[in-house]
Structure 1
Amino acid sequence: MKFKKIIIFLLIIFFLLSSSYFIYKQYFKVSPELPYKTTNIEKRDISQIINSSGTLEIKDTLKIGSLVAGTVKQILVKENDIVKKGQILAIIDNGKDDTEVQAALGQVKNTQAQLDYQEKYFARQQELFKANQISQDYFEQVTKDLEQLKANLITNKATLKKAEIEYKNTRIIAPEDGIIIAILVTEGEAVTVDLDATVLFKLAKDLTKMEAQLNIDESDIGQIKKNQKVNFTVSAYPDKNFEGFITDVSFAPKIINNILSYKASLCVENQNMLLRPGMTVNADIKIAKSKNCLAITTQAFQINNKLIETVAKNLHHKIEFASKNSIKTLEAKCQQQDAVKNIWLIKDNKFIETPIIIGITDDTYYEIKSGITEQDKIIIDIEETDELKKIYSKIYDSAV
């Protein structure tokens, strides 16, 4: 009884396997006539881009220091304050306050008073000299005293002006309209004016205009030019695209981890004030664009020649490889940045390796300059041995 059940069970398995293999053979068998996929070239827009990254910076930044040494007496602004040219930002205590100004002013007033008297005295003495009532020596001495007082007044006024300038310099003022983006000192902190001068503030003249220094690989730098459009994103707004353009390309190389690169300056409009200094920019530089051009998928360049030969043999198709002369002829026609690549066509049961001239690429499609027409059938895939067929065959053979 048990043996009979086993026989029935095996027959059921055999029936299921046979049915599965029959269904596979009828409905899932790859047609032996077309073990490959073809396509035609199409017209589309292609944009070629170079990827790069960099850090956002404020385009025009001023570092504000002090012309006098001392300590910070008072800070009159806060970060992000909008300031006007000439506005006082801080006061420096140089230990003198306005004492030198007052002393110099006193000297000027005193000398001026003496000069006023001496001018009147000189006028009287001049009349007496004309009337021969005083000696020439005495009149010359009066004249000398007058000129000496005039010279003293000039000197004292200069001393006053110097004292006023030094006192004025204890007031740190904004050199331009802008926004305070950093305060680098605190009240009571010492301020120096030597070679390592203290920077008190950083002022941005215009936050609506920013720039980023992009690192461009040496293999791409030849394609970067001024005024090229750039699309970029920042981590703070991953779903938002920003735009800018290249303003400068540096000649100075930069080597990081043995990788040579060059700097390209990216100008960015920041009217909505979303962007901030220090943000990392992930940029796509549009170096070329071709509208409504003939295009071919990159798959066409990935066909294995040995596989083509095998398929041609199995299908009893002819095969024709590209000649060196045809390749050299096209290479002679190539312009800068063009290239010659080989693709496979199928025509009248014949595989034909064909060289073509390609232009720009977006890494998915290539622009076609010449070599094929819109009517040509281009091979983009070759079907390899069907693994599913192998599995079913093994199961069927073992069951039989």
Structure 2
Amino acid sequence: ERKNLAQTVSVSGEVISPNNIKLAFQTTGRLENIFVDVGDKITKDQLIAQIELGKLPQEIAQANADLKAQKELLENMKNKRDTYTREQRDSQRAVIKKYEAVIAEVNQQIDETKIYSPVDAIVGKRNFNAGETVIAGTAVAELFQETDLEISVNIPESDIVKIKLDQRADLTLDALPADEKLSARVFEIEPASTVIQDVVYYKIKLKLDAQDERLKNGMSADIDIRSAEKENALVVPQRAIKIEGTEKFVEVLKDAKNNITERKKIITGLEGDEGSVEVKSGLEEGDEVVTFAKAV
């Protein structure tokens, strides 16, 4: 008979967001407040967390007072042109610019005590609580966006050679009805390996054919990757094939009434997951192959 054959690699994976964002302060300090929790939906430019200002308010107040005094001095120098030379007034202007630079720097430090969300997102992780010390560069919170979700899969090294870009895959998820399948394709294969419990894996990613609003970051998925396919292949059951050395044979029914068979040498191709094997040569469509003395 002819049928479509498929060879699959069955694995488990996880729904992930490719747009994960880690939010961190640029300076070390004591966390004064964190305004979000895991699962919160937040909007772009929303305040996420703030560290204590420390002495910055006093520093900015002093810098502004100093700047005011220097500007007043310049005005006095302008009003007494006979007393002060142009060079002295230019020098005073340079002093004022230095104070303005100090104020700009302190204001920058004040801005860095707050973290805002750069996008509309969902809070995936909150790593600190108010009162704890946060080190510069350490993620205080992690955000993700539920758009363009992907499937992350670890493939054992024994199967990775079967995986190619653009291969098709069928997915089922515990969160969805058991008989509902989603379609995806392989779009990324990482070259570097990862060792998990002494087993070598390679990470691949699948892109869904269509986004589904029911999917959430972190959901588990069972995946069948079609590592090889053949349409309209001439097939026989695996159990009908006899192997002698490097050659393969089948018994073809010639006389059903007298149960007479003819032995034929065949060359096989793809082995499907359901016990069917492609016959590339040696048989013709319509031949009745004997399996356990029964015609099929």
TM-score by length of 1: 0.64
- The equivalent residue for 2:73 is 114
Q: 1:50 to 1:173 in 2, by over 3 A?
A: same
Cα-to-partner distance string for 1:172-224 (whole Å, 9 max, x where unaligned): 2113332222222222222222xxx54211111x2133333322233432231
How far residue 272 of structure 1 moved from its aligned partner, in angstroms, is: 1.3
Letter in 1 for 2:51: I
Which has the larger share of strand? 2
- The equivalent residue for 1:265 is 205
- Whether the 8 Å CA contact 1:359–1:369 is kept in 2: the answer is no
Structure 2 residue 231 is the aligned partner of structure 1 residue 291: yes
What's the secondary structure of 2:161's corresponding residue? helix
Match of 1:347 among 254, 263, 271: 254
- The equivalent residue for 2:100 is 157
- Whether the 8 Å CA contact 2:240–2:250 is kept in 1: the answer is yes
Structure 2 residue 106 is the aligned partner of structure 1 residue 199: no
Q: 1:198 to 1:215 in 2, by over 3 A?
A: closer
How far residue 106 of structure 1 moved from its aligned partner, in angstroms, is: 1.9
- Whether the 8 Å CA contact 1:356–1:372 is kept in 2: the answer is no
Structure 2 residue 213 is the aligned partner of structure 1 residue 275: no
CA distance in 2, matches of 1:180, 1:118: 57
- The equivalent residue for 1:380 is 291
Cα-to-partner distance string for 1:126-166 (whole Å, 9 max, x where unaligned): xxxxxxxxxxxx7xx62232122111111000000011111
Match of 1:67 among 26, 33, 49: 26
Cα-to-partner distance string for 1:226-281 (whole Å, 9 max, x where unaligned): 2222212233336032332212112223344554432212234653133331x332
- Whether the 8 Å CA contact 1:80–1:180 is kept in 2: the answer is yes
The structure whose Rg is larger is 1
- The equivalent residue for 1:77 is 36
Structure 2 residue 151 is the aligned partner of structure 1 residue 217: no
In the alignment, structure 1 segments of 5+ residues that lack a partner are: 1-41, 126-137, 306-321, 328-340, 384-400
CA distance in 2, matches of 1:101, 1:116: 22
Q: 1:148 to 1:170 in 2, by over 3 A?
A: same
1:3-22 mapped onto 2 (5 Å cutoff):
none
Q: 1:257 to 1:114 in 2, by over 3 A?
A: closer
Structure 2 residue 5 is the aligned partner of structure 1 residue 43: no
How far residue 361 of structure 1 moved from its aligned partner, in angstroms, is: 1.8
What's the secondary structure of 1:103's corresponding residue? helix
CA distance in 2, matches of 1:91, 1:251: 39
Q: 1:257 to 1:351 in 2, by over 3 A?
A: farther
Q: 1:284 to 1:62 in 2, by over 3 A?
A: same
What's the secondary structure of 1:98's corresponding residue? helix
What's the secondary structure of 1:232's corresponding residue? strand
Letter in 2 for 1:207: E
How far residue 352 of structure 1 moved from its aligned partner, in angstroms, is: 0.9
- The equivalent residue for 1:93 is 52
- Whether the 8 Å CA contact 1:207–1:270 is kept in 2: the answer is no
What's the secondary structure of 2:274's corresponding residue? coil
- Whether the 8 Å CA contact 1:358–1:370 is kept in 2: the answer is no
CA distance in 2, matches of 1:71, 1:255: 37
Letter in 1 for 2:162: Q
TM-score by length of 2: 0.85
- Whether the 8 Å CA contact 2:5–2:270 is kept in 1: the answer is no
